[in-house]
Structure 1
């Protein structure tokens, strides 16, 4: 049974994943290379938990228990030597991941499961220089990791079936929805679907079909509203496959077919207008607007999660 969890990398994703395990009763060690990174992560987790208490998603007692379940360490060997499940959430630089896996081979238990939160590299690439492919998984969480239910799982061809099952069970035990890919493919499932939608959104913006706010509203209050409870394949079946056959035949020929980032994004990046990171992108963010919008987003996610859990 998997009891002791170690998360390596205490950024936004690593800290929120650690929080998800801690809230659900697991003993969690959060590791990073600097104490200052861990202090920021501890503050972020405490704030996230406080919002969940305010929104009645957890109790004050559950918050305190979660904080007790968390420990923070810089020393990698101490962080992983007793871990049953090790999840790396370090920067998406393959050389950094290879170096980490090399160290894990020395420090971790022989039966520890290793997972990566990567959204960039296939599992075969991750294991190119490692010898523990039989107990390796990709577990791709989505930001914010403590609130979004989906976790995409990808196994190596050598991954043992019992490792896959143990990982699936673990992810379910923390209230997530694991989806296992049957084959490797770039972008996995969700990011491929999301990229296709965003490509068309930026095409509509470039063509002047509507302004950015209206395009976002069209998604939020249209497909997005339905997608919270009904997926695209089921939507097609509810609408009738014959109807969607005609939709595809009529609309598909006019969809954007570009193979790279949209020109709008390329232009803004060249001007260092990166969105919330720099305070300006398509939209402009002033004062505490980013913090306030993230707070509102997370509270909405919490309430949506409560509705979905009640439905199930």
Structure 2
């Protein structure tokens, strides 16, 4: 499926068309209640990113020296920019102790294992920082919405995930759970960009295309996911990602502000933007109430 109908827009919108309707392009940045009309200017973005990446080098050194373990999960809407946030974080880090995990669909053997098993083997050891590009929360999102698992499996996952994460945190892992959200028009615009760009078409999977007509289903799934798994010991952090530049900065900044590492420069890190990053009950239209 490469076309979709949106409320208030007549007819269907095709990703194969050279251009999206002007109404979609005009609404994209503000879609989903996004607070800004325009992207952060490139010069300001690059200046802030450089300062944050210098701080990340300090964090990595401190984490290695102290034997710390840092784990960040990047979840969210298809097309929300999870990969670009991870790329900005890891761009100048030593890959020997900071690495990305992006698992493919489970093998036949893995489907017969404990659900968390294949993720557990990727957890950070002493001195490591691990960034998950999607995680065990596949079960609460895409697997649920696309019918790749049963309702009973979803219910079991929602009960067990907080217990699993509690074990990790109590064992000393610093766990960060980011959920990137974008408006429906922005998602459609990004899918269209991928479809039209031969260098980005690999990013647009059949599951992504199917998601075009399931935006509301994903919303219902995320509300229930937050209700069960937004815990005191392992809270979710929502990031409004219509502007990828702001999202990259805020996800990095959030981690730097949370860990007191040697040589930390709070002035260089700056303050979090409460309009962009925060808890689900403040930043999502549905909060935790459905």
Bin the TM-score by the shorter chain.
Answer: under 0.3
TM-score, with structure 2 as normaliser: 0.26
Higher relative contact order (CA 8 A, sep 6+): 2
**TM-score, normalised by the number of residues in structure 1:** 0.24
Answer with 1 or 2: which has the greater Rg.
1
Greater helix fraction, Structure 1 or Structure 2: 1
